Amino acid sequence: MNFSEGLQLLPITLTDGLVLGLLYAVIALGYTMVYGVLGLINFAHAEIFMVGGIVGIEVLTFGTAGTGMHPALQLLLAVTAAMLISGALAVVTERIAYRPLRLRNAPRLVPLITACGVSLFLQDFVRFIESLFGNFIRPFPDFEFFYRSVELSDSVIVPYKSIAIVLVGVAMLIGLTYLVNYTRLGRAVRAVAQDQKASALMGIDVNRMIALTFLVGGALGGVAGVLYGLQFGKLDPFSGFIPGIKAFTAAVLGGIGNIPGAMLGGIVLGVLEVLAGTYLPILTDNAVGTEYKDIFAFGILILILIFRPSGLLGRATVEKV
């Protein structure tokens, strides 16, 4: 394939990049919300995302299969279940693993190590549970409906599953923006992010707002897990690591602690990754394969952060979370 033929792939490549970027953005919101409130990098969020995805797969496999429900309704039920379980898991994690350390004013490195421990625990716990019932690699149920497509132009054919990911992802991002910026709870969370002691003096239940932050971040992770399974066809207990690292990178790229920044960082990372995966083989006559797409994408990100160390929107937004 020559370069001119490769250019014809640009519209569909950008579309795929947008879909992948939205997935990263939804995961990144969980990182950026917790960091914005506590200054904590919650590495366990990647496993909360994974748990949500596997819960969604199990709901679709054993809960709604054979019921005759429309696939879109089944997906909605799976997403709802994933939100509930992942949100609850995030709250329990905060209550057991992080809050005792926070109340004892533990050094900031300690919760970071605890987050890594929770991450490893969840990986092996899910592997143990799934292994009891067979293979812990869980395939996403094959819905013919989501593989139908819409032809937007001669070179852009978008499958239903990509449309579903975009619609759900955008709805989550809009809903979170409204919650944080236009509701009383959102104002309370932002107040806690600014100054916990002053918020407590003003009558805000700080512990409750922090738990709410974990609940919302975990629920978003659950949504992203189901959408990730829909896009890539399977999940296992270790599926959270790579997307989690990339989503964390997206949060840093956009300006960690900044919600619009997490959205922008996720989309930029997703588009760069897909562009590199598509055009590296074309531009190098297959000397450099698609597997090197992460090197290219992360190289660009390093360059951006050298010149914008606070992230793309790190200075543009005044308020955090």
Question: Which pLDDT tens digits describe the chain residue by residue (321 residues)?
Answer: 666 767 778 888 899 999 999 999 999 988 888 888 888 888 899 999 999 999 999 999 988 777 888 989 999 999 999 999 999 999 999 999 999 998 888 888 898 899 999 999 999 999 999 888 888 889 998 888 888 888 877 777 889 999 988 998 888 888 888 998 899 998 999 899 888 889 999 899 999 999 999 999 999 999 999 999 999 999 999 999 989 988 988 888 888 878 888 889 899 999 989 988 888 888 888 788 888 888 877 787 788 778 888 888 876 555 555
pLDDT value, residue 257? 78
For the full predicted model, state whether its pTM sits above 0.75.
Answer: yes
Q: What is the DSSP string of 172-231?
A: HHHHHHHHHHHSHHHHHHHHHHH-HHHHHHTT--HHHHHHHHHHHHHHHHHHHHHHHHHH
- Distance, CA of 138 to CA of 127 (rounded, Å): 11
Query: Terminal CA-to-CA distance of the chain, rounded, Å?
Result: 46
pLDDT value, residue 52? 95
pLDDT value, residue 46? 93
Nearest to 54 by CA among 240, 225, 294: 225
pLDDT value, residue 106? 87
Q: Running DSSP on this structure, what letter comes out for residue 106?
A: -
Helix (H, G, I), strand (E, B) or coil at 59: helix
pLDDT value, residue 285? 80
pLDDT value, residue 315? 60
Put residue 138 in one of left, alpha, beta given phi > 0 → left and psi -120 to 50 → alpha.
beta
